[in-house]
Structures are given as structure tokens and as C-alpha cells.
Amino acid sequence: MKLYGALASPYVARVVMFADLKGMELPMESAPGGMGSDEYRQINATGKIPALDVDGQIIAESTVICDYLESIQPEPALLPADPMAQAQTRMIARMTDLYIAPHNTPLTRMRGAGARDQAVIDKGAEEFAKGFAYLEQFMGPGPFAAGATPTLGDCALAPFIGMLKRTVFPNFEEVVDPTVGDGRLATWWQALEAHPVCKKNIDAYDVALETFLKWLYEMLAKRSAGK
């Protein structure tokens, strides 16, 4: 079994954290030809990372990969047996994808290009505030996304919050970091930071992301300067 991807992707980081919490070895390889390439589309038609290769059979989509890992190694359970807790952790993963993930790129690219479009920033701030409110309402009793231990939703949301801490919160004061203060997302983040495996994964993702962003910002700055 091997994972195609690169850790700077929050979707890859989701699977890596999930596998690590299970104590599973999951070797990672770059997507042949790069993500989106014709060569890689022969393996994964979407061209996206991550993809899991299981003896030549491919599973795409980060959450489906996590479901597969849960099926082949049920312990420790990262999808709670309790139906409501499982719904809660799944909601956090789904809402991360639907209501948080889409709003990062427009702001990150603007930061890289150096030009500010206030209407885009205000729209982003509005969407993030809504997304954070959804997450806060639908998290379980905690302190993690569902309950007393990390589960799927934590693996999905943590890399995105880590990404926003690098790309958005320090650069756009209009978007308020919900992990600061004493709200539900703040106590959730504190729980992750206090958990050794979660903390290790958050830190490793941050290092990979920092390297990627350095390259991205340089590339965008050159492009906007017409080089």
C-alpha cells in the first residue's frame, strides 16, 4: 500500500494524520508527472492528491481513503461506534470540505500577488465566519471534534486551520482566527496541540506548507511583475 501525494496538501495531511493516529505505516510517493498531469491521470483520473494504491487498485478522495483505512484496521477507532458521535465527526470533515476549503485560495493568491481587492477579502471573511459558526455548532462534546479522542473530523479540519494560520489570519485582519479565545474551536485547537500525535502532524504539515508557500509567493510575485 502506498499514498500518492505531498504533505503540503491539507487533503494528504488528513490521510497522513489519520494513518499515524492508527499507528499505520503509509509510505508516500510524489504523483508521477505531478498532480494534474496526464501521466498521473492514468493512475487517478481526477489528477488530484491524495490517492491510495492498494496492490495496483486505486482509491481517490481523502475521506474515502480514511474510510478504507478504518475498514482494514478498525483499532484504534477513528470513526466512533456511537452513531451520533460518528455523525458529528463526519459533519466536521464534510463541512471543512464544503464551507472552509473553498475560501482559502482566493485570499492566498491575493496575498502572493501583493494586490488587495477589498470586496474579495470581505466576501472571504463573511464565508469563513459562517463556516466557523457551522463547525462550532456541530462539533460534539469534545474536546476533540466528536469526543474525548481525535477522530476523522480532527484529521480533516486541523490541516485547514493550520493552513489559515499561515495564509489568511496573519495577512487579512478581517478574518478572525477562531482558535484564539475561549470558543469551541479554541478549546478544540488546544486539545490538538496537547495531543502528541496530533501536534506532531500539525507541526510536520506546517513545515511542508511553509516550503510550498515560499515557492508559491515567489512564483505569483514574478507573474504579477510580468517576469
Q: What residues line the site for ligand GSH (CB under 6 A)?
A: 9, 11, 35-36, 47-50, 61-63
Query: Which three-class secondary structure state does DSSP give residue 64?
Result: helix
CB of 204 to ligand GSH, least distance (A): 16
Residue whose entry in the numeric block shows the C-alpha cell 502528541: 196
Cβ 212 to ligand GSH shortest distance, Å: 10
Q: Which is nearer to ligand GSH, 38 or 182 (CB)?
A: 38
For the CB of residue 14, give the shortest distance to ligand GSH in the complex, in Å.
7
Pairing type for strands 57-60 and 51-54 reads: antiparallel
Judged by beta carbon, residue 60 or residue 120, the one nearer ligand GSH is: 60
Please, which residues bridge with residue 76 across strands? none
Residue given cell 491539507 in the structure block: 10
Which residues have a Cβ under 8 Å from the Cβ of 219 and sit 6 or more positions away?
112
Which residue lies nearer to ligand GSH by CB, 62 or 201? 62
Rounded least distance, CB 157 to ligand GSH, Å: 13
42 vs 190 by CB, closer to ligand GSH: 42
Task: Give every CB contact of residue 6 below 8 A, 6+ residues apart in sequence.
Answer: 12, 28, 30, 31, 35, 49, 208, 212
